[in-house]
Each structure stands twice: as C-alpha cells, then as structure tokens.
Amino acid sequence: MRRSAKNGKQKPWTIDDLRDGFLEYYKIHSKYPTSQDVDVFEFLPTSRSIQRRFGGLMELRKQLGLGESDFRSGEYSSKRAKKVNDRAHRVEKQVYDHLVNIFGIEFVHREYFFADDKRTRTDFFIYCKDEQFSVDVFFSENRHSFIGCLNSKMRTYDGIGMLQYPVIFLQMNQDIEKDEINSIVSNKKNKLHPYQQVMTFDEFKEFCTTKKPRV
C-alpha cells in the first residue's frame, strides 16, 4: 500500500488507492474514518485534498460504496454519541473519585457555576486550605481534537467571572504524550493565561499532593 502525500508522496491518488486506504483504516479501527481521522492516517490524503477532488468525504464514501455516507447522522452518529457520553462519564468519575479521596466529598463541588447564566461552569471546583482551584476534564481522541478542545475551553475561560481562580484543563487520553501537549501549548499564538494549566492525569495526581486539604 502506498503512503500519502502527507509523507512526501506526490503521485495522484486513484479510487483504488483510496478504497485500500479506507479498508486499511477499517481493519485497524473497526470503523471508517471521519475527516479528522483521515488527516492523521498515513495511507490516505488529507481531508482538504478529498474535498477539492471528490467534493468531500460524503461524496467519496458514496463512490467507494462504503455504506452510510454521512457519519454525522443515523446509526453511526447515535453509536458515537453514546460512546462519547459513556467515556465522558467514566473519566469524570475517575477524576471525581480521586479528588474526593484526597480533599473529602464536602470540599469537591461538581458542576460548579461561576454565574447564574448556566454557561460559565466548570466540571469540578475544589476548596483547599491554601487556594481554591477548578478542573475542566476532557478526552481528546487525537492531536487535532486536542487543539480544538483546548481552543474552545480557552475561549470559555476567558471571561472576568472565570478569572477568579486557577483552572486546570485535564486531558485524559494517555495516548497523547506530555511532550506533544507541551509542544502544542508552547507554539500557540493565543497563549494560556498565567492561572491556566494543561495537565495529564499523572501530572494532576502529583499536583493534588501539593495542595492542603481542609479536612
């Protein structure tokens, strides 16, 4: 199987090449790729290239005869939504249990709202002896997803009401290594505020040992 232009291959792609790439992805992941998946898979061209030549992934899937063409709707969307929701619940519970074990249940506030508008909220707000802090938990499937999630959260936590306490953006996918996270954060044009940090779960557990519980 050929490698894509993302790895230096400039020869034009054929339909057979693309079908092979989609089937290879399915063999590895048990699903066909979305546009984000395509951009990081070495045996397929970029989603932008597919958009220019075939009119997007929906049209290409139709030409390849790979079943449901619009992965944003129907059975695929429902299954994906359930998977994402189940995972979000699981990782938040993991963080919650860890916080309660250290700080005590009465000092770990879940779904904390900074204002009455029901939008400026954080996943966890923790009361300590030395300093309160908040935690926003998320799971990024890949580098592209991580960048998008972080940009979104930085916009959310940019208002005056959110500047009162330090916030930790807690990325729970252990397959995204800390060196990669540091590289992304350091190269961002819009920088984190001094009170904001991005942490892996291992870093977060170490951070919690530096805080003084009220109990």
Domains by residue range for the chain, with CATH: 5-71 (no CATH), 77-208 (3.40.1350)
pLDDT at 42 over 80: no
CA distance 133 to 168: 8
Per-residue three-class SS string for the chain:
CCCCHHHCCCCCCCHHHHHHHHHHHHHHHCCCCCHHHHHCCCCCCCHHHHHHHHCCHHHHHHHHCCCCCCCCCHHHHHHHHHHHHHHHHHHHHHHHHHHHHHHCHHHEEEEEECCCCCCCEEEEEECECCCCEEEEEECCCCHHHHHHHHHHHHHHCCCHHHCCCCEEEEECCCCCCHHHHHHHHHCCCCCCCCCEEEECHHHHHHHHCCCCECC
| Pick from 77-86, 109-118, 186-195: least confident | 77-86
pLDDT at 9 over 50: no
**pLDDT level of residue 1 (50, 70, 90 thresholds):** very low
Question: Residue 135 pairs with which residues in a beta bridge?
Answer: 124, 168
pLDDT at 48 over 60: yes
CA angle, residues 52, 56, 62, in degrees to nearest 5: 125
pLDDT of amino acid 2: 46
Query: What number is the average pLDDT over the span 94-103?
Result: 96
pLDDT of amino acid 79: 63
**More confident: 57 or 8:** 57
CA distance 96 to 67: 40
pLDDT of amino acid 170: 97
pLDDT at 74 over 90: no
pLDDT of amino acid 26: 79
Asked whether 212 and 107 are in contact (CB, 8 A), the reply is: no
pLDDT of amino acid 201: 96
Residue 116, C-beta contacts closer than 8 angstroms, at least 6 positions apart = none
CA distance 164 to 7: 45
pLDDT of amino acid 3: 46
CA distance 166 to 2: 48
Average pLDDT over all residues of the chain: 82
Query: What number is the average pLDDT over the span 109-115?
Result: 81
pLDDT of amino acid 167: 93
| Pick from 56-60, 84-88, 116-120, 195-199: least confident | 116-120
pLDDT of amino acid 196: 93
| Pick from 67-71, 96-100, 122-126, 149-153: least confident | 67-71
The 10s digit of each residue's pLDDT in 178-213 is 999 999 999 998 899 888 999 999 999 999 999 999
Query: What number is the average pLDDT over the span 65-85?
Result: 60
CA distance 213 to 215: 5
